Structure 1
Amino acid sequence: MKRAEQQTEGMQKIADLIDQIGVGMLTWDDGTGRLSSRPMLPLEMDADGSLWYFTRLTPDKEAAQGRVNVAFARPDSASYVSVSGRATLLHEREKILSLWSALAEPWFPDGPDDPSLMLLRVDVDDAEFWDASTKCMVRLPYRAPVAAQLDAENGKVLNPQFPAAVV
């Protein structure tokens, strides 16, 4: 996984753990109230703390846009991470090319030009990890440092520095 230097010590700890663990289970509401999950390998954690994935555009992935959770586990080292945030499907050719590697070829044999290849970005707004030394979950004040965002679906302004406020 590519990782940018994170803006806080807590975000760096999460990035280090996710990099060590690898595959996580991405879970979302499929639109009918049913939770769906898929194993996903993060390609990058950018400087804003967002996770980037390759995915194929399918109806269930379209439903994955919105609130999601990604859970990572490596029991042999007692490493567990849970992040939640907002997922967005994107088709940004330059970003696809920058993240492309031979590891993606089994899923996308037509390469980075595969018309069904999309990016899934998870803008993390909450994170926690298991601290084996204290035997408890540690919840981080984790907010990706991005500008205020409008959640038109729920009529709220989302600002990672402050709680959501109704407009």
Structure 2
Amino acid sequence: MSTRNYTKDKNGLDKMRALIDAPKIVMLATQLRKTPFSVCPMTLQQMDDQGDLWFFTSKTSSHFTDIQEDNRVQIIYTDEDKQKYISIYGNATHIIDDEKVDELWSPALNTWFEGKDDSNLALLNINMENAYYWDSIQNKLVSFFKIVEGSITDKTPDLGEKGHVNLQNH
């Protein structure tokens, strides 16, 4: 697997866009300084033009309270079918924005909220600072055969790319 690193420029954001599909269920970790940290599944709604990640959340959830105390978060993103894996570190902010709610809302969210006007509904905006990724260029079956071939022929198979994306402003 080759290694490639990106910075916060068009190439870095383009790489993240190529890796992230939304909506997607991810694991959101809060209370990063505690062991064990707190983790919950969240549905990624959007990666916007600036590279921020958007989620719906409840004001009564434990991660909502956690973020009020310490807004540092870690997101674990996996897409086993496409062989993409990302660990994202960033800062979370609670947002109340009716226009953004209208933009991102889908009827499936009624499972967790009493409609768009639910008084406990809030948006969670994550500003990504750093990400580590593993991106296989092959599907699982092809990767498996390349690994087997490499073990027989002593050739190092090209299984894709891994790297770091630094999204902090300098």
- Shorter-chain TM-score bucket reads 0.7 to 0.9
Q: Looking at secondary structure, tell me which structure has more helix per residue.
A: 2
- State the aligned residue count: 139
Higher RCO, 1 vs 2 (CA within 8 Å, ≥6 residues apart): 2
- Aligned pair partner of 2:56 in 42, 54, 57: 54
Question: What is the identity percentage for the equivalent residue pairs of Structure 1 and Structure 2?
Answer: 31
User: Where does residue 22 of structure 1 map in the other structure?
Assistant: 24
Decide whether aligned partners of structure 1 residues 94 and 16 sit closer, same or farther in structure 2, where only a CA change above 3 A counts. same
Gaps of 5+ in 2: 1-7, 137-157
1:105-159 deviation per Cα after TM superposition (whole angstroms, max 9, x unaligned): 1111x2100000000110111112103345663101323xxxxxxxxxxxxxxxx
Secondary structure of the structure 1 residue equivalent to 2:111: coil
More deviation in 80-89 or 59-68?
Answer: 59-68
Secondary structure of the structure 1 residue equivalent to 2:116: helix
TM-score (norm 1): 0.73
Decide whether aligned partners of structure 1 residues 140 and 63 sit closer, same or farther in structure 2, where only a CA change above 3 A counts. same
Residues in 2 aligned to 1:140 and 1:80: alpha-carbon distance in whole angstroms: 13
- Aligned pair partner of 2:162 in 128, 137, 151: 137
Q: Give 1:102 shift.
A: 1.2
Secondary structure of the structure 2 residue equivalent to 1:139: strand
Residues in 1 aligned to 2:44 and 2:23: alpha-carbon distance in whole angstroms: 10
User: Where does residue 79 of structure 1 map in the other structure?
Assistant: 84
Residue 18 of structure 1 aligns to which amino acid in structure 2? I
Task: Give the alignment's Cα RMSD to 1 decimal.
Answer: 2.4
Residues in 1 aligned to 2:22 and 2:124: alpha-carbon distance in whole angstroms: 21
1:4-153 pair list within 5 angstroms: 8-19=10-21, 22-29=24-31, 34-58=36-60, 60=62, 61-65=64-68, 66-108=71-113, 110-132=114-136, 133-134=158-159, 137-143=162-168
Residues in 1 aligned to 2:117 and 2:81: alpha-carbon distance in whole angstroms: 38
TM-score (norm 2): 0.71
Gaps of 5+ in 1: 1-5, 144-159, 163-167
Secondary structure of the structure 2 residue equivalent to 1:27: strand
1:52-85 deviation per Cα after TM superposition (whole angstroms, max 9, x unaligned): 1001012522213410011111223321011110
Secondary structure of the structure 2 residue equivalent to 1:49: coil
Residues in 2 aligned to 1:30 and 1:129: alpha-carbon distance in whole angstroms: 20
